[in-house]
Amino acid sequence: MTVSHPLFELSPASPVIVQGITGRMGRRHAQHMRAYGTNIVGGTSSRPNDDDEFPVFSSVRETVEATDAVASIAMTPPLDTLAAATEAFEAGVKTVVTIAEGVPVHDALRLRSIAKSHGGIWLGASTPGMAVPNKFKIGFLPDIALRPGSFALVSKSGTLSYEVGYRLASLGLGQSIWIGVGGDAVKGVRFADLLDPLLSHKPTQAIVLIGEVGGSEEEEFAAAVQARGGSSKPIFALLAGREAKEGVSMGHAGAITYGNTGTMASKVERLGAAGITVASSIAGLIEACGDIKSANGGSDRNGD
């Protein structure tokens, strides 16, 4: 059975807007995304103008009416994220990506509820975005780490996933889809939400999960795999924070443990019990993924 999910339905033809497009980062990443193949059709700003490169409007509703945009990326500060994403959902945008780290927890809780009430998908907070290599990206995932292939890369950690993606690409192993769910404790898309869509996603032959100490997402994902009776595709996991000392503040919004949940030992145990291969290092993860390549005759099925 095919399980649909809005993130998997986006394509190079999907009209995407940038909220805050006239800011330094907004303009830069709008240019980078368009150069990569994303259909950036315009954006919003408190200072709309007659821009030669991108149409700029004063509101998301005006932008949607002019462009039929279905997705938005909000290049806004954390305290402005709730208002920006809410405006997008109320204007009919179905997928909203928010990159800011440090969105207040109360705002994130409200935003998650607002997204659900509008039948939309909120990817964030604190996410580098998503991509389908050689097709489009929404966010700032590094081009050098993007390569088309058969490994779905889903991650809480941005920088660690960049390194994993780059090393996979260097070996000729690419991604069928790359989704950064973000590292904050309260977010719009969690690992477990992506399990069924990934298992029914034909370009995906294996799943690589990049987690970290703290939070309960990895345990939730493991429970979801077990509830299905196991996974029909190989799943590999790498967890950041193996050397973190208990009781020491990590500083990361989502790196919080609750009793026996969220600890490194808990995550490794529960992922392993679900049949997921947990690597102890990046090198170990890449080696395990390389074994899949060897089993497929020496090439990444969708990458070569």
Are 161 and 280 members of one domain?
Answer: yes
Looking at 71, 90, 123, the residue that finishes a domain is 123
User: Residue 132: inside a domain, yes or no?
Assistant: no
Residue 303 is predicted with a pLDDT of 46
H or E stretch covering 104: none
Are 146 and 291 members of one domain?
Answer: yes
Are 189 and 263 members of one domain?
Answer: yes
Are 150 and 65 members of one domain?
Answer: no
Residue 157 is predicted with a pLDDT of 87
Number of domains in the chain: 2
Supply the CATH number for residue 49's domain.
Answer: 3.40.50.720
User: Rounded to the nearest 5°, which phi and psi values hold at 198?
Assistant: -70, -40
Are 16 and 37 a contacting pair, CB within 8 Å?
Answer: no
Active site residues: 252
Averaged in consecutive runs of 10 residues, what is the pLDDT profile of the chain (304 residues)?
Answer: 83 98 94 98 84 89 97 97 98 97 96 97 96 98 97 94 96 96 94 97 96 92 98 96 58 53 87 97 95 69 52
Are 289 and 155 members of one domain?
Answer: yes
CA distance 210 to 160: 8
Are 176 and 240 members of one domain?
Answer: yes
Among 94, 150, 107, CA closest to 290:
150
Are 55 and 156 members of one domain?
Answer: no
Question: Strands, DSSP E only, in 215-300?
Answer: 235-240, 277-279
Strands of the sheet with 56-57, listed across from one edge: 56-57, 39-44, 15-19, 71-74, 95-98, 121-123
Q: What are the residues facing 148 on neighbouring strands?
A: 175
User: Residue 1: inside a domain, yes or no?
Assistant: no
User: Residue 304: inside a domain, yes or no?
Assistant: no
pTM of the model: 0.92
Supply the CATH number for residue 175's domain.
Answer: 3.40.50.261
Are 172 and 111 members of one domain?
Answer: no
Are 183 and 231 a contacting pair, CB within 8 Å?
Answer: no
Looking at 72, 95, 123, the residue that finishes a domain is 123
Are 164 and 280 members of one domain?
Answer: yes
User: Residue 267: inside a domain, yes or no?
Assistant: yes
Domain assignment of residue 69, given as a range: 6-123
Looking at 92, 123, 154, the residue that finishes a domain is 123
User: Residue 129: inside a domain, yes or no?
Assistant: no
